[in-house]
Structure 1
Amino acid sequence: MEPIELSFEFFPPKSDDGIARLRAARAQLMPLAPKFVSVTFGAGGSTQQGTLDTVLEIARTGVDAAPHLSCIGASRAGLADILDTYRAQGISHIVALRGDMPSGMVEMGDFRYAAHLVAFIREHAGDAFRIEVAAYPEYHPQSRSPRLDLEHFVAKVRAGADAAISQYFFNADAYFRFVDEVRRAGVDVPITPGIMPITNYSQLIRFSEMCGAEVPRWIARRLESYGDDRASIRAFGAEVVAAMCERLIAGGAPGLHFYTLNGAEPTRAICDRLGLHAPGQ
């Protein structure tokens, strides 16, 4: 079997304890030789400096680090400055997103959709960056129809995106259906499934309601039945998610992108079940 390409998402820590936790997680995950890691970018640029600092610290270790870049509430001049800063620091990989509207913000900024951001990056920086965009196998929570959702994704690729990372899901059929529809639309960029380890029932339900990811009833009921038994939740979650990952890889997924939430053990547990180990282990 061909090696499975892995990538991980982190978020910028906001405290000394958070910095230590992220460094510990990276120490456990980097031996798995990820193709790249991404670092999130807060709504309206709220973690812009934290994203830059985290990306540069990771990049100094020789790992390809891709900052998220959100266009909601941003200006062309401001985004140009950010792109120039990353380029000057040797960063050549971007995850381009529309982003969420921060509470209280009423101005969209100079860009309405992620496709506009992708086009601007190409206009401003040419091919200096590899651009990843988001994909929504179960549809964007704000989309008006599946057809429009697909059209928005195709527009991002036409604007210059190189690849896509999906929102997480727990139904592999949703991913395969989405990829089939994208291919029928004439788009052939790699679409890597996003994988969310299951560690906490209430947190998972809250995240999923916000981002529009469906938690199948049988999974939700089983998690709920464990109550505060975190060990059982994690063991069941690793089993369920690893089985889905096996099906995704067997069905042709180009890799797996883990939403780590700055922790290592849940992701490592899934990788262990998939037989993915650091070289020499």
Structure 2
Amino acid sequence: MTFFAAGVPDSPLFAGLPGDIRISFEFFPPKTEKMEAQLWDAITQLAPLAPSFVSVTYGAGGSTRERTHATVARIVAETTLLPAAHLTCVAASQDEIAEVAQQYWDAGVRHIVALRGDPPAVDAGRFVPHPQGYASAADLVLGLKRQHDFEVSVAAYPEVHPEAASAEADLDNLKRKLDAGASRAITQFFFSTDAYFRFLDKALAAGITAPILPGIMPVTSFAAIRRMSANTEIPDWMTHMFEGLDERPGPRGLVSAVVAADQCRRLYEGGVRDFHFYTLNKAEQAYAICHLLGRRPREIAA
């Protein structure tokens, strides 16, 4: 039998990527000592990749306020990483939010991810502003910028926020947040590169010129991705790709890293150079994806 390989590339898809990307990672505050050890193992492994910043989430209704602050403060004290603390409008007055923001500022935090936030379960999934609180993320951004010269990031939704009245209204809301003083937006996770690029085109047409970082979510559980997807399209090929792998975490992790890296490669080919990774406090997949994209460890200043 004779095989003809004319036109078939002799190098892997990722072989030529130079690593000229900017990266950032998201973590969540740990609930237990075991989870704290896992978090700090992830931070230790990912820090040599020199992320532009690392963000720490804030639970629904401010439920992780103290743990978020403790995690961010420890990152400031024990690493050279630049932390960004999430802060939401939910279940807090403007004075209470100002107090939390001041605590971050006093701890050396200069970057806030300002979000409206997810309402607690008791509100049946509906956001109800605190009587003395902020009604929107745009208002929160204004309040933070009045208090201190924080660097502020906000959220964006390439496939529209589930509660938005329309795609146009959602885009208007993003513009209000950026006009209020935010420096960049970070997207909800997505799997369709076409959806992301269409969103960038619409944002530019609406007068939005701030960076919109793609949020990359490696699949750690396909069932969980389905639950969290809301308006995010899950392509049929992904369903086929991950079929039967939730019961096989080792193979699933390998497949997930390659799928996410390929998504990043396609974004890179479209001109994207900034990537934000939702790590779920696990380093292996995020590290592998960055490696495939050409990113290598760098010396960390003492």
TM-score bracket, normalised by the shorter chain, equals over 0.9
- Ranges in structure 1 where 5+ consecutive residues have no aligned partner: none
> 1:95–1:131: 8 Å Cα contact kept in structure 2?
yes
Alignment of 1:81-100 (within 5 A): 81-100=99-118
* Residue number in structure 2 paired with 1:79: 97
Corresponding residue SS for 2:243 = helix
Q: Does 1:213 align with 2:225?
A: no
Greater CA deviation, 48-57 or 104-113? 104-113
> Residues of 1 paired with 2:246 and 2:272: CA distance?
34
| Aligned residues between the structures | 276
Q: Does 1:102 align with 2:120?
A: yes
Alignment of 1:131-280 (within 5 A): 131-209=152-230, 212-226=231-245, 228-279=247-298
Corresponding residue SS for 2:31 = coil
Alignment of 1:100-139 (within 5 A): 100-105=118-123, 107-109=128-130, 110-125=133-148, 128-139=149-160
**What amino acid maps onto 1:78 in structure 2?**
E
Q: CA RMSD in A?
A: 1.5
TM-score (norm 2): 0.87
TM-score (norm 1): 0.94
Quick one: which of 55, 58, 69 aligns to 2:87?
69
Find the structure with the greater CA-based Rg.
Answer: 2
Q: Does 1:49 align with 2:66?
A: yes
> Residues of 2 paired with 1:275 and 1:186: CA distance?
33
Corresponding residue SS for 2:215 = strand
**What amino acid maps onto 1:259 in structure 2?**
Y
Could you say if the C-alpha distance between residues 104 and 253 of structure 1 is closer, same or farther in structure 2, counting changes exceeding 3 Å?
same
Corresponding residue SS for 1:253 = coil
> Residues of 2 paired with 1:147 and 1:34: CA distance?
33
More helix per residue: 1 or 2? Answer: 1
> 2:76–2:82: 8 Å Cα contact kept in structure 1?
yes
